[in-house]
Structure 1
Amino acid sequence: MKLCIAIFFTLISSICLAQINDNPTITDALLKYDFIQEQIVNNNDTITYYLKNYNVKPENLVVFIQGTDANPIFSYSVKNDKTIFNRWFGDDYKNLDSTYTYAIIPKPGMDGIYKDGEISIPQSYYDKNHLDHRINQIDISINHIINNHLSKSQKIIIYGHSEGAAIGATLATMNKKITHLGFWSGNVLNNFYEFSLFNRIESLKGDITDKAAHQNIMGILDWYKSVVKNPNSTEIDHFGFTNKRWSSYEKAPIDYLTELTIPIYALFGTEDESTPIETAYLLPVKFIENRKENLTFEVCIGCDHSYQEETEQGQKSHWNEQFMKFIEWTEKTK
């Protein structure tokens, strides 16, 4: 059975800087990128977040929520006796002025620093990588930042990419301090429906037969049934996830989004290989149907899941310009 996976990809932006260092630590990486680390003990669980350092307490907070894969936040490699530090997130924080700070919360078990090529995924990741735990991590981190690192709360902006978009949508229904939501390249409907839709799209394009598409979809439905019959299982499947993870995302993000009254900035790419653009248009339809006007709906024409466009000159990234448009939008909306 061929399965098209949505929300399975994450933006990886590695910026390499070298220094001589035989024993690299997370402290070295934080100094290199001018971030600080905070850790909060909550019910025998240690929650870690990384925050852009500041000289004077800022007023505004931007929180980025990673996508699906079990990527770390910081890693390193060694070349010619030099340590090269890498960060697994982009340049967005560099585009913010001093009135902002920027936070990122690692996935369960993925805090600290890893050596490239030797990144092993701990069992704690599989045990805790589900919607409730990730929301709890980010919610507690946001509240801690507000109480300890902001001079006064003006804007609390969260934006998630891919799976991170679904997390952000759910989180925003719970944490009332959040003022703006960015929903970037997230699945709009139930995962299993969108997996099925990709098969129908392949069939329409002639990439697979109509019969094969139907057989694949029936297999997806059987898979869905097996998940809901054992929703708390932490056994790892052949995609590297657990039933507990799959079942926690059963409610479609569109249902969370339509509950919100805060401004929402939804962004999609027309050539997205992971989230079908076809279902994205349901968002504005649903908001119109419910007479809601808090949705800004944007589409990056010709862009893939991470807003890369194939041009005659090669790949062109639109991520940075999209982020700047997003921040400018937050300054105009309340």
Structure 2
Amino acid sequence: MKKIIFLNLFLLVSAIGIAQKNKIPTINDALKKYDFIEGQVVEKSDTITYYLKNYKTKPSNLIVYIQGTDPNPIFSYSKKNGKTTISRWFADDYLQVDSTYTFAIIPKPGIAGIYDESNLSIPEEYYKNNYLEYRVNQIDVSIKDIVKNHLEKPQKIIVYGHSEGATIAAALASKNDAITHLGFWSGNVLNNFYEFSLFNRIESLTEKQSDSLAHENIMGIIEWYKSVIDNPNSTEIDHFGYTNKRWSSYEKPPIEYLLELDIPIFAYFATEDESTPIETAYLLPIQFMQKRKLNLTFKVCLGCNHSYEKEINGVHRKNWNNVFMQFINWTNQK
């Protein structure tokens, strides 16, 4: 079967890591460096951890970012030439807003804390709990705890997710009524298995592979989907590093979650996206118009890849920060 490209964004900001003496850093070292605090909520036998931008006085607005597909940590460290460098795996969006906002990010299952980059192993808890319902509950519980304990007269509860995080954000907004604004960035619009098939057909049309190979790959994807349906709760790890329980939990097309919402939605896509087909993205404005819904803002970054980078005269230009500020400014108008 043709290799599947997953919906993910890898934001390891090692360039701004901080050199320390040659010691093993703790999560408290990372939190202190980036001025975050840790919150935890105990739910039955589960401890849910979130990281929140520190504040001097309680803010009234919350921004929650949801990561993409891969089992990446939030903080890590590396050792080189006798020095230890602490890094974060998310962008500097939290630095672009004023003190009326705080910013939260919730680690994936089993991946709280700080990790050694030379030994990034995936814990069993990740495979056990990496499915949509668990992720939605993680973030829902975290938001409720933050609103209760860290906000003063809450006004805006902004949630945005990228890639797989966009799907989680859409499902979360259907559950948490406190969310006021949603950012759906480069998430799949239709069922994953259809979009994987679509990529194969596009490659055939652009002569990157033969028509017969595209068809063979698509039939393999259909058989794969059938195997997931036949055993939806299996936690056996497949050769892509995921489980049937994870795949089956994302069976509902995200467009259906989005159409159920009445809060303002900021949908952002890219024409050169290697992970999310732009072809299905255009269904969003069509379907919202068909349903006579007016709460969608739809934007496309021309010539940009999945991470919103664009090549101009051989130079790669990053647009993520610009997209984020467009999004925040948009929330001020909605």
Task: Give the TM-score band, short-chain normalised.
Answer: over 0.9
Q: CA deviation at 1:5?
A: 2.3
Cα deviation digits, residues 15-56 of structure 1 (max 9, x gap)? 211122513100001000000001111010010000000000
**8 Å Cα contact 2:7-2:163 kept in structure 1:** yes
Match of 1:332 in 2: 333
For residues 289-319 of structure 1, what are the alpha-carbon distances to aligned partners after superposition, in whole Å with 9 as ceiling and x for unaligned?
A: 0000000000001000010011214110000
Take 1:304 and 1:166, find their aligned partners in 2: how far apart are those partners?
19
Query: One-letter code of the match for 2:3?
Result: L
**CA offsets 1:63-121 (integer angstroms, 9 cap, x no match):** 00000000000000112222200000001000010000000000000000001121110
Amino acid at match of 2:126: Y
The question of 1:48 aligning with 2:59 is answered no
Q: What secondary structure is seen at the aligned counterpart in 2 of 1:51? A: strand
User: Partners of 1:238 and 1:289 in 2: how far apart?
Assistant: 40
Q: Secondary structure at the match of 2:121?
A: coil
Q: Does 1:269 align with 2:261?
A: no
Matches within 5 A, 1:14-163: 14=14, 15-163=16-164
What secondary structure sits across from 1:61 in the alignment?
A: strand
* Equivalent residue letter for 2:140: D
Alignment of 1:251-330 (within 5 A): 251-330=252-331
Structure 1 contact 158–182 (Cα < 8 Å) conserved: yes
Q: Under a length normalisation based on structure 1, what TM-score does the superposition of the two structures give?
A: 0.98
Contact 2:140/2:172, CA 8 A, preserved across alignment: yes
Residue 311 of structure 2 aligns to which amino acid in structure 1? E
CA-CA distance at 1:4 after TM superposition: 3.3
In 2, Cα distance between equivalents of 1:12 and 1:257: 29
Q: Is the 8 A contact 2:60 2:155 kept in 1?
A: yes
Q: Residues of 1 paired with 2:155 and 2:315: CA distance?
A: 40
Task: Determine the structure 2 residue equivalent to 1:11.
Answer: 11
SS in 2 for 1:83: strand
- Is contact 2:12–2:87 with CA below 8 Å preserved after alignment? no
Determine whether 1:172 maps to 2:209: no
RMSD (CA atoms):
0.9
Matched with 1:227 is 228
Deviation (angstroms), 1:257: 0.1
Q: Which runs of 4+ in 1 moved over 2 A?
A: 3-6, 8-15
- Residue-by-residue CA offset, 1:198-222 (whole Å, 9 max, x unaligned): 0000000001111111111000000
1:59·1:154 contact (CA, 8 Å) conserved in 2? yes
Read off the aligned partner of 1:231 and give its amino acid letter.
P
Alignment check: 8 A CA contact 1:62 1:100 kept: yes
- Residue 6 of structure 1: how far off its partner (Å): 3.7
Equivalent residue letter for 2:232: P
Q: Write out per-residue CA displacement over residues 135-166 of structure 1, whole angstroms, 9 at most, x where no aligned residue.
A: 00000000000000001110000000000000
User: What letter matches 1:260 in structure 2?
Assistant: L
Alignment match, 1:185: 186
What's the secondary structure of 1:71's corresponding residue? coil
Q: Which moved more, 1:6-15 or 1:50-59?
A: 6-15
User: Which blocks of at least 5 consecutive residues in structure 2 are unaligned?
Assistant: none
Q: Is the 8 A contact 2:63 2:104 kept in 1?
A: yes
Partner AA of 1:29 in structure 2: A
Cα deviation, 1:255-290, whole Å, max 9, x if unaligned, reads: 000000000000001000000000000000000000
Cα distance between partner residues in 1 of 2:319 and 2:23: 37
Given that 1:9 and 1:274 are in contact with CA atoms closer than 8 Å, whether structure 2 keeps it comes out as no
Residue 245 of structure 1 and its aligned partner are, at CA, apart by: 0.2
Check conservation: 2:10, 2:89, Cα contact below 8 A: no
SS at 2:13 equivalent: coil
Which residue identity lines up with residue 7 of structure 2 in the other structure? I
Gaps of 5+ in 1: none
TM-score normalised by length of structure 2: 0.98
Task: Give the number of equivalent residue pairs.
Answer: 333
Structure-1 separation of matches of 2:253 and 2:48: 27
SS in 1 for 2:260: coil
CA contact (8 A) 1:6 1:187 kept: no
Do the aligned partners of 1:180 and 1:263 also contact (CA within 8 Å) in 2?
yes
Amino acid in the other structure paired with 1:4: I
